[in-house]
Amino acid sequence: MAAKTTSFVTEIPLITTSFDLSVLAARLEAGRQLYNAVLSEGKNRLQLVRDSELYQQARLIDKKDKKAKSAAFQSCREVYHFSDYDLQHKANKTAIASVWIKSHLDANTIQKIATRAFKALERMAFGKAKKVRFKQKGQFASLEGKTNKQGIRWINNGVEWSKLKLPGIITNDPIILYGLNSKIKYVRLVRRILNKKTFWFAQLVCEGEPYQKPKNIIGESSTVGIDLGVSTVAIVGDDETIWTTFGVELTSKQKKIRKLQRKIDRQRRANNPNNFNPNGTVKKGSKRWHKSNRYKKTAAKKREIERKQARERKSSHGRLVNQTLKLGKNLKTEKVSVKAWQKNWGKSIGFKSPASFQSELKRKAENAGGTVLMFSTYHTALSQTCLCGNKQKKSLSQRVHNCSKCGLTMQRDILSAYLSRHVDPKTETLSIQSARDGWLGMEQCLLDGWQNGSNQSALPCD
């Protein structure tokens, strides 16, 4: 097995003609059909594994004996040929039998499609997903190779793949130049529909560490405390405190989206009157849906607005992540359940997406060699705790901490973020004495962060 190395992705737009688009569309459709075929076969094999006696016996093995349990499950998989290699073999046989698929896809791409299907099945096998989804037309949007030596390759500032040559748009962007000067492991082709037009991009999966902008230098030894909220986040480092909303510069397009959703529903009902009951509900059973050209245009307009909003949100999260890592790469934060928040603040969670910020921050910190401590709120209860050790319950509407014993006044989220810096990583308990010792040098920094956050327009109270 080849040694694993760190990787990063450099994305380059491609120049395509109408002929190129038609060829790529055919190859993408061949990949989609092969993926669904392999996924169906793998799903059947997984069900055979679960129904077997060997699997039931493996489940009875004590969890403490991890090696024996793992070996039992592995032997059960081997009996029913449920592995990445077996599905790759099945994909090759399917492609050869089809002839049409084999004429559009090379061996490396076929194997990577099989691996993609196996990973989806593996998530379901380990309980990380409830089911696998077969790709409908338009839902399969990427193809990739295994190496840059054959199949999909990046050669002479462009992609070459089975007589197809797609030149890349090379700019003087230091990020692109850095990626082109790095060793390329393999190439991924990605299709995107932007404003109803089809564009293709080459994602070069390169070996090494990603390009680091000078303004985004990561802090080394500092510990950063974070208090994550539904719409806001408080971040406390050694020399700076940030209290801000997620995507403060974002403008919600939810009103436009809701208006288009109602229009889509009216068009669907007008085009398919036989699919609805007199009371307006959808009839049960299988149905055929007619989609008019106006319906398709409205749906495309809605998708474009959602795409732009998602892009703006991701860019905003990226800037905030970089600001956080400049303070330090050793992070401490409470373990919160964003899924539980969705019950009460579904719209805000969908628009601000605090979970994606948290996952991106965790990924970048760990890739930079930092640590991420996510401790339970059960023993710490930082939002209820004062610097003097006094604990008092607060309602969610009470955003300012006013201690009844020592008289300390501080913004609730900022104080929680500060206290999280003094949580012991071994015991996951708050050290009040450590928090007191560092307070005098940090008080003004916390007050400045509170003042800067208050100057933002309409900072929400959740």
Angle between helices 412-420 and 439-454 (to 10 degrees): 140
Measured distance CA(392)–CA(400) in Å, rounded: 13
pTM: 0.83
| CATH number of 223-251+299-454, picked from 2.60.40, 3.30.420, 3.40.1350, 3.10.20 | 3.30.420
Residues 8, 206 contacting (CB under 8 angstroms)? yes
Q: What are 334-356's pLDDT values in tens digits?
A: 998 888 888 888 888 888 889 99
Over residues 30-67, the pLDDT tens digits come to 999 999 999 999 999 999 999 999 999 999 988 888 89
Residues linked to residue 166 through DSSP beta bridges, in sequence order: 159
Indicate the average pLDDT of the chain: 90
Question: pLDDT by residue (tens digit) across 271-298?
Answer: 999 999 999 999 999 889 999 999 999 9
User: φ, ψ for residue 121 (rounded to 5)?
Assistant: -70, -35
Percentage of the chain exceeding pLDDT 90: 63
pLDDT at 440 over 60: yes
Q: Give percent of the chain above pLDDT 70.
A: 98
The domain limits of the chain are: 7-207, 223-251+299-454
- DSSP strand pairing (142-144 vs 184-194): antiparallel
pLDDT tens-digit series, residues 358-373? 999 999 998 888 899 9
Residue 462 pLDDT class (50, 70, 90 cuts): very low
Q: What is the pLDDT of residues 299-326, one digit of tens each?
A: 999 999 999 999 999 999 999 999 999 9
Is the predicted pLDDT of residue 425 greater than 90, yes or no?
Answer: no
